[in-house]
Amino acid sequence: MKNSSSLRVILTGGGTAGHVTPNLAIIPFLRRRGFDIRYIGTSKGMERELITKENIPYYAVPAGKLRRYADVRNVTDIVRIEFGLLKALFFIATIRPDVLFSKGGFVACPVVWASWIMRVPVIVHESDVLPGLANQLSLPFASRICYSFPETVSRLPPSKAVETGIPVREELLRGDSGRGRSLCGFTDAKPTLMVIGGSQGAQVINVCVREALDVLLPRFNICHCCGKGTLAEPRHGYAQFEYADRELADLFALADVVVSRAGATALFELLALKKPGLLIPLPLSASRGDQILNARSFKLRGFSLVLPQEKMTKETLVEGITNLFEKRSDLIARMQTAAPIPAAQRVVALIEELALRGHGRRETATV
């Protein structure tokens, strides 16, 4: 039986931070186990910049998006997907991995299909309550399917489903509130409200928060991760960041309560950090409803409060934040009593298990 130091894994996933950061979270654990790690993503996606910083060999394939509605771009994107499959087949044949771990996004589909064709074991990870289209197209080709919310298991083949949660980057757990306070320039002892709208910000939340500053700032210092190109006029006690990368751990450590979208990765980061959140999920008019289901799950489990975007006004936002702050101790207690899932370790153990099988199959084939 081979050990991990002789095993090779390909990671894939891209399009949004939620399809990349869980891969970043498992990389240190894979390295400790001695894995040879490669990554397949798009040529211009955010995953390329994030992964190449980790000094991991990166391979780019074309990717197209399959839409659930009639659009002329579906025709051109099908061609891109076909080219992506051919290129992925070439990379799989060249790299000869023992296992593929897919975090989703449309770049992952041709890589999953190519791996299945080449008889490489595939692990697919689903973050949301409701599997997205890209993962739905990948699930039939997976040997194992990792899921994050307990509600998801009813939508998956029981023989393949494994509850793992979402891997959270280790560095997020090592934040320092003093460094966070210094980054924000806060000089008093007011509690800190953190507002974060995802990797690209959330303009509708930005506008509402800024309308409420006159009411909120006497009660809170506010750390606002608002998205690129969306900074507003500076104000005392109001710190803005277009994007927080390495600073994020310290900003989270400083936060007493958080206003957030309800992307699955963000929710599991809040859970790992035991941060009470007021969740404002993307509405059905702008999404397939995955964030609504994610937020509902966390609300039912007593981890967070929810404010639907269609009900958000200056007044309801202030009321929601006030309610959140008053209930923060109860929310933290519920998060602390929830059974912790060491997600990164579980995922890596599963990768290792299937890689060993894949390696044995590959060695047998070459004898």
Same domain, residue pair 311 and 345:
no
250 lies in the same domain as 330: yes
Residues 121 and 154 in one domain: yes
Report the pLDDT value the prediction gives residue 1, as an integer from 0 to 100: 43
Q: Answer yes or no: do 87 and 180 share one domain.
A: no
**What are the residues whose beta carbons fall under 8 Å from the beta carbon of 87, sequence distance 6 or more?**
61, 62, 110
118 shares a domain with 41 = yes
Both tokens of 135, joined, read: 């993962």
Domain shared by 268 and 286, yes or no: yes
Judge if 22 and 133 occupy the same domain.
yes
CA 6 to CA 192: how far, in whole Å?
A: 47
| Nearest-angstrom CA–CA distance, 138 and 191 | 44
| 111/203 same-domain check | no
What is the span of the domain harbouring residue 296? 173-337
Residues 113 and 144 placed together within one structural domain of the fold: yes
Between CA 328 and CA 51 the distance in angstroms is 35
CATH label of the domain that carries residue 104: 3.40.50.2000
pTM for the predicted model, two decimal places:
0.90
| Residues 230 and 152 placed together within one structural domain of the fold | no
pLDDT digits (tens), the chain, 367 positions: 455 558 999 999 988 888 899 999 999 999 999 999 999 999 888 899 999 999 999 999 998 666 555 555 555 678 888 999 999 999 999 999 999 999 998 899 999 999 999 999 999 999 999 998 889 999 999 999 999 999 999 999 999 999 999 999 999 999 999 999 999 999 999 999 999 987 566 899 999 999 999 999 999 999 999 988 999 999 999 999 998 888 999 999 999 999 999 999 999 999 999 999 999 999 988 888 899 999 999 999 999 999 999 999 999 999 999 999 999 999 999 999 986 779 999 999 999 999 998 766 655 555 4
Q: What is the dihedral of CA 233, 238, 244, 247, to 10 degrees?
A: 140
User: Residues near 242 by Cβ (< 8 Å), separated by ≥ 6?
Assistant: 201, 225, 226, 227, 228, 229, 230, 231
SS3 labels along 36-71: EEEEEECCCCHHHHHHHCCCCCEEECCCCCCCCCCC
N-to-C CA span, the chain: 15
pLDDT tens per residue across span 50-87 = 999 999 999 999 986 665 555 555 556 788 889 999 99
Contacts of 137 (CB under 8 A, 6+ apart): 66, 109
Number of structural domains in the chain: 2
If asked whether residues 74 and 152 sit together in one domain, one would say: yes
Could you give the 3-state DSSP secondary structure of residue 164?
coil
Both 158 and 182 in one domain: the answer is no
